[in-house]
Structure 1
Amino acid sequence: MTRRSTILEVARDAGVSKTSVSRYFGAERDRLSAALQSRIAASAKRLGYHPNQMARGLKGGRSRLIGMLVADIRNPFSVAVMHGVEQACRARGFSLMVCNTDNDPAQERDHLALLTAYRVEGLVINAAGQPSRELRSLADQGTPLVLLDRILSDFEADMVGLDNAQAIDMALAHLEERGYGELLFISEPPAQASSRQARLGRFRQQVAARGLAGETLCLPLEGGERQLDDAIAAFLVRRPRAPKAVLCANGNVTLAVTRVLQAQEARLGDVGLLGIDELEWCSLVAPGITTLAQPTDVIGRSAVDSLLQRLATADRRSPPRRIHYQAELIPRGSTRRRDTP
């Protein structure tokens, strides 16, 4: 069995003190000069040294772990934000522990218990249910929490996510400018996520205010293919008063709608299509799908920054903050009609 190198060996190899190496692998890395950090990193890599974070936690009362709970790890939004969270954790000397709940509140409770057992120092949660009692228990123990994308009706904490009202307003303004006047908004179940509720409510409010014709469809998470196919077919065959467009509430819906429109041989552009969330394939499907891109990396990093600010503050019960970021419109051919420039 290969012997594990020690922190003392790294210190000797780098020509620095043991304290400097401890700072490099702990929360005080910023106190070291860039040159010193480079020497320690090179020595650790050369010797194959990895700190025992669990032992460090037992010794110092800190685990150096950040927990992240996501409602659906298959959702491209979750993956993209997770990357930002992980990058921010690594830069600050923390490790990330991710749990996927598969939109199951029972799994959510089990994972929260697991993360508590591992003594995570902070938690980023994209809630699937209403785990307010478990989160309140964590908060009472002094664990800082950040809600990602979704708020809870009976529990307040820092929240980081998209400015949903601005995103819907931007989508409607773009579709109206391109001449679309009959709109179908399609979402996954709004009851399971406050962000979906916000987008749905804003759509209904704004289509009325703008004098547009708007209708909505809320799909189940599983098994809604036939319902979606029938709804889009009915929407397309109705005699139009104005050009029609479909607005998708997230990336999963955009993918499902694109498949249906292709199967029904609808020409994108003549039938407008706009999706919230920028996905890699959206630029590849001719003539390109117009999207509203969320700054997912920034959202992930901001969530970690919020956690660490709470960790560094003696009073963790100060009023919760809500940080909203704006979407970026990426126009493509799916919202460009043949009879317009």
Structure 2
Amino acid sequence: MPQPPRRATILEVAHEAGVSKTSVSRYYSGERERLSETMRERIVSAAERLGYQPNPMARGLKGGPSGLVGMLVADIRNPFSVAIMHGVEQACRQAGLSLMVCNSDNDPNQEKAQLALLSSYRIEGLVVNAAGRHSEALHSLAQSGTPLVLLDRTLSDVNADQVGLDNAAAVDMALDHLVERGYGRVLFITEPPSLASSRQARLERFQARCAALKLPANTLITEVTTPRHIEQALKEFHRTRGPRPAILCANGQITQAVIRSVKVLGLAVGEIGVLGIDELDWCDLTDPGITTLAQPTDAIGKAAIDCLRQRQTGSGDPPRSHLFLPRLIARGSTQPPLLA
């Protein structure tokens, strides 16, 4: 039976590149910025020639830096989760780190179990899209000294940096656009806000901003798994007399559920406006296209990893909040009124 090919060693890479073993180790342990650009290029070239693959697990077992970053998402099926994972993974790759992702399925018990699993792998930091509003497991992890970043969440009992969307600015941008396009009343549809601080923030801002604009506003709190609930609310909202109606969707999953319900009811998208927070791949493929607020997920992911790396250096600064503005992509679902 043929023997499997032998793995190249870090010492062989160092010899091939003409650098020290310590330099190669720094390159693969997230300290590559300490090396000159020429040295980094030589290490990469030597590793490619030898077919070298670093083993972050082995580094962790030896007591050194593992090079592993953990990421826990509340719902891996959510398009936002997929997009933000891509941003975090890109940032990890650029920093010479590896990403390990777990999914809690919005279950606090699963969240606790997955956090224990990630901790067992000697992760160097953790990016968390928490399942709920409070978490003893996250609090304990933060207290243990593990660098921690909260993604799209605010947890009062967890002392950690926060990275995500500026929810107040996003809602303001959405309502300003709808008013500018001639919509005079808005139905805001969201999943239960008690399960996520970002949902609560968007709902509160919607109510406050509508009051300030004297804009007739309605709210539907529902699950995306109950389409009949959404259909009934849309039917009643559409047939109610009043100014031109629009729907503001709190996230991508709600946007998809709303468009499906609008089509079932035979409503004309655009006449009843639709604007969704979060850009989805299909939003420019429908007729008409769906207006969205696109989150800068790559920039958010990079900011999360930058925060972790700063905390790894022992930064004693108080926790900081890094908020990003969305980009409005106007399409046919928020068309101006037809001139008589």
CA contact (8 A) 2:133 2:197 kept: no
Q: Which moved more, 1:133-142 or 1:105-114?
A: 133-142
Give the match for residue 47 of structure 2. 44
Q: 1:28 aligns with which of 9, 17, 31?
A: 31
Runs (4+) of structure 1 exceeding 4 A deviation are none
Give the match for residue 269 of structure 2. 268
Give the match for residue 332 of structure 1. 331
Shift in Å at residue 37 of structure 1?
1.6
CA deviation profile, 1:13-41 (whole Å, cap 9, x unmatched): 22333232222222331222222222221
Q: State how far apart, in whole Å, the 1-side matches of 2:42 and 2:318 are.
A: 42
Q: Does 1:287 align with 2:318?
A: no
CA contact (8 A) 1:186 1:248 kept: yes
Shift in Å at residue 187 of structure 1?
0.4
Write out aligned runs for 1:222-261 (5 A). 223-239=225-241, 241-261=242-262
Give the match for residue 112 of structure 2. 109
- Among all aligned residue pairs of Structure 1 and Structure 2, give the percentage whose two residues are the same amino acid: 60
SS in 2 for 1:77: helix
SS in 2 for 1:220: coil
Write out aligned runs for 1:77-88 (5 A). 77-88=80-91
Q: 1:164 aligns with which of 164, 167, 172?
A: 167
CA deviation profile, 1:149-182 (whole Å, cap 9, x unmatched): 0111322311111111111111111111111112
Shift in Å at residue 140 of structure 1?
2.3
Q: Supply the RMSD in Å over aligned alpha carbons.
A: 1.6
CA deviation profile, 1:41-60 (whole Å, cap 9, x unmatched): 12212211112212222334
Q: Which moved more, 1:101-110 or 1:34-43?
A: 34-43
CA contact (8 A) 2:134 2:157 kept: no
| TM-score, scaled relative to structure 1 | 0.95
Amino acid at match of 2:220: L
SS in 2 for 1:281: coil
Give the match for residue 323 of structure 1. 322
SS in 1 for 2:130: coil
Amino acid at match of 1:34: E
Shift in Å at residue 216 of structure 1?
0.4
Shift in Å at residue 70 of structure 1?
0.2
Aligned residues: 337
Q: State how far apart, in whole Å, the 2-side matches of 1:323 and 1:16 are.
A: 38
Q: State how far apart, in whole Å, the 2-side matches of 1:282 and 1:178 are.
A: 19
SS in 1 for 2:266: coil
Give the match for residue 278 of structure 1. 279
CA contact (8 A) 1:70 1:98 kept: yes
Shift in Å at residue 194 of structure 1?
0.5
Q: Quick one: structure 1 residues 131 and 46, their matched pair in 2 at CA, closer, same or farther if it must change by over 3 Å?
A: farther
Q: State how far apart, in whole Å, the 1-side matches of 2:8 and 2:318 are.
A: 45
SS in 1 for 2:54: coil
Q: State how far apart, in whole Å, the 1-side matches of 2:300 and 2:44 are.
A: 28
CA deviation profile, 1:170-202 (whole Å, cap 9, x unmatched): 111111111111211000111100110011111
Give the match for residue 94 of structure 1. 97
Q: State how far apart, in whole Å, the 1-side matches of 2:30 and 2:210 are.
A: 50
Q: State how far apart, in whole Å, the 2-side matches of 1:111 and 1:68 are.
A: 10
CA contact (8 A) 2:88 2:302 kept: yes
SS in 1 for 2:274: strand
Ranges in structure 1 where 5+ consecutive residues have no aligned partner: none
Amino acid at match of 2:318: P
Ranges in structure 2 where 5+ consecutive residues have no aligned partner: none
CA contact (8 A) 2:139 2:157 kept: no
Q: Quick one: structure 1 residues 265 and 291, their matched pair in 2 at CA, closer, same or farther if it must change by over 3 Å?
A: same
Q: State how far apart, in whole Å, the 2-side matches of 1:233 and 1:80 are.
A: 32
SS in 1 for 2:112: helix
CA contact (8 A) 2:163 2:304 kept: yes
